[in-house]
């Protein structure tokens, strides 16, 4: 019997393939189409001839672990023990899968807030757990009454994602306080915080679980160098978790991956000396402004977005087709690819919303805007 009977080709692949077939501008999948930082390429070229091609230690290259510890200290004033609380992973995806499979037992409930990133539920199913999907509010803020009502004796893990894919929502101080008040009552519930877009926030800074003393003892935090350094194909990320949880996570990691791509780890280690993470939000804020100003007078209704490189729009003034059909039409008839938001819900809730990715060259965005304005 299949462990994932309902898994099909992901909507991201489907839309990208359709976009390629119709030569459409691809604002669907979440990856940059602009060049990688020249300095990163130079480090890569320089190091390739050095002795960087064999297994690194299982948890990661020690120099990279130290750099991440410094970064975490600088950004979030959290001291982490690199021996016991940190693990380099093959992207956040593997970090999330490994966390869930190390910590969720057969029959455990895992709370997932909808709409949500598509890798959470399959990871829970492979672990033998039960995904419990809870809708966010209409403005995509967390609904704590629903979250608390869903908690049972079987609840093992709550997954949160901030800044949020697909909606761009970022939790505020009150949201975290509300979460802390609930979790104080349930000491066995763990928290998986997916923070892959931690460096992309526009209105107010992203609040990391790394800065929440009431949460860190039960929290596993996932980060992604793919997202933060615009090298999604390198698939390097990391997890931070307290020692007892990390011990279990490493047990699974060592048999799933053992050690992550050595070349990428060495190059990133050196690049971390020169990269300025503060510039990332500004760069994306400019792209977002270009895109939003461009479609402001179009028939698409722009929803507030506080972070990530995604923008959600409502198209109900243009069409009453469901969002998957409309996204296909947008490719085949008009030549722009987006992701329908219903695919991020368990029950395919269709609110006539599309997600555009603006991590693209200005030229791509300008061309897309021209088309979208004429629809």
Positive/negative CA dihedral, 288, 293, 299, 303: positive
Among 72, 99, 123, 165, binds ligand PLP (CB under 6 A): 165
Nearer to ligand PLP, 61 or 369 (CB): 61
CA 90 to chain centre: 14
Closest distance to ligand PLP from the beta carbon of 365 (Å) = 19
Peptide bond into 166 cis (omega under 30): yes
Nearer to ligand PLP, 158 or 369 (CB): 158
Nearest-angstrom CA–CA distance, 161 and 167: 10
Nearer to ligand PLP, 91 or 131 (CB): 91
Nearer to ligand PLP, 82 or 98 (CB): 98
Strand partners, 192: 159, 220
Among 30, 168, 307, 340, binds ligand PLP (CB under 6 A): 30
Binding mask 196-225 for ligand PLP (x = CB under 6 A): x---------------------------x-
Nearest-angstrom CA–CA distance, 74 and 235: 24
Of 232, 266, 249, nearest to 55 (Cα)? 266
Does residue 161 bind ligand PLP (CB under 6 A)? yes
Nearer to ligand PLP, 165 or 364 (CB): 165
Strand partners, 201: 307
CB 356 within 8 A of CB 348: no
Nearest-angstrom CA–CA distance, 348 and 169: 20
- What part of residues 224-253 is at the interface with ligand PLP (CB under 6 A)? 224, 226-227, 232, 235, 237
CA distances from residue 265 to 67, 162, 201, 262, 279 in whole angstroms, order as listed: 11, 25, 26, 5, 22
- Label the pairing between strands 301-302 and 190-194: unpaired
Nearest-angstrom CA–CA distance, 215 and 279: 28
Among 32, 60, 91, 340, binds ligand PLP (CB under 6 A): 91
- What part of residues 256-285 is at the interface with ligand PLP (CB under 6 A)? none
Closest distance to ligand PLP from the beta carbon of 235 (Å) = 6
Number of residues that bind ligand PLP (CB under 6 A): 15
Among 92, 157, 200, 220, binds ligand PLP (CB under 6 A): 92
CB 127 within 8 A of CB 252: no
Nearer to ligand PLP, 76 or 309 (CB): 309
- What part of residues 177-196 is at the interface with ligand PLP (CB under 6 A)? 194, 196
Closest distance to ligand PLP from the beta carbon of 234 (Å) = 9
Q: What is the binding site for ligand PLP (CB under 6 A)? A: 30, 91-93, 117, 161, 165, 194, 196, 224, 226-227, 232, 235, 237
């Amino acid at each position: 019997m299949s462990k994932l009977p309902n898994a099909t080709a992901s909507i991201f692949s489907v839309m990208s393939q359709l976009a390629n077939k119709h030569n459409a501008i691809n604002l669907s999948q979440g990856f940059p189409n602009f060049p990688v930082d020249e300095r990163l390429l130079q480090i890569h070229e320089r190091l390739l001839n050095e002795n960087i091609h064999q297994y690194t230690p299982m948890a990661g290259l020690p120099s990279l672990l130290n750099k991440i510890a410094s970064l975490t200290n600088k950004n979030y004033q959290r001291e982490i023990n690199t021996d016991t609380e940190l693990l380099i992973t093959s992207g956040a995806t593997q970090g999330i899968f490994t966390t869930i499979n190390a910590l969720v037992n057969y029959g455990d409930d895992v709370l997932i807030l909808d709409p949500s990133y598509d890798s959470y539920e399959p990871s829970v199913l492979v672990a033998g757990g039960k995904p419990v999907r809870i809708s966010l509010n209409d403005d995509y803020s967390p609904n704590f009454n629903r979250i608390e009502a869903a908690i049972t004796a079987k609840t093992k893990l709550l997954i949160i994602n901030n800044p949020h894919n697909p909606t761009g929502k970022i939790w505020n101080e009150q949201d975290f306080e509300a979460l802390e008040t609930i979790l104080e009552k349930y000491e066995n519930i763990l928290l998986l915080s997916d923070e892959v877009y931690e460096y992309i926030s526009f209105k107010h800074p992203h609040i990391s679980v790394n800065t929440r003393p009431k949460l860190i003892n039960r929290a596993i935090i996932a980060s992604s160098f793919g997202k933060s350094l615009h090298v999604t194909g390198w698939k390097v990320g990391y997890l931070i978790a307290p020692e007892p949880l990390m011990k279990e996570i490493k047990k699974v990691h060592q048999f799933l991956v053992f050690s992550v791509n050595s070349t990428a780890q060495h190059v990133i280690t050196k690049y971390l000396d020169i990269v300025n993470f503060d510039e990332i939000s500004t760069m994306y804020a400019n792209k977002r402004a270009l895109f939003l100003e461009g479609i402001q007078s179009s028939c698409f209704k722009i929803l507030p977005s506080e972070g990530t490189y995604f923008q959600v729009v409502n198209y109900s003034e243009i069409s009453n087709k469901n969002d998957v059909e409309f996204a296909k039409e947008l490719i085949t008839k008009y030549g722009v690819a987006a992701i329908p938001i219903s695919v991020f819900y368990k029950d395919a809730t269709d609110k006539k919303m599309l997600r555009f990715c603006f991590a693209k060259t200005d030229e791509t965005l300008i061309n897309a805007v021209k088309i979208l304005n004429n629809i």
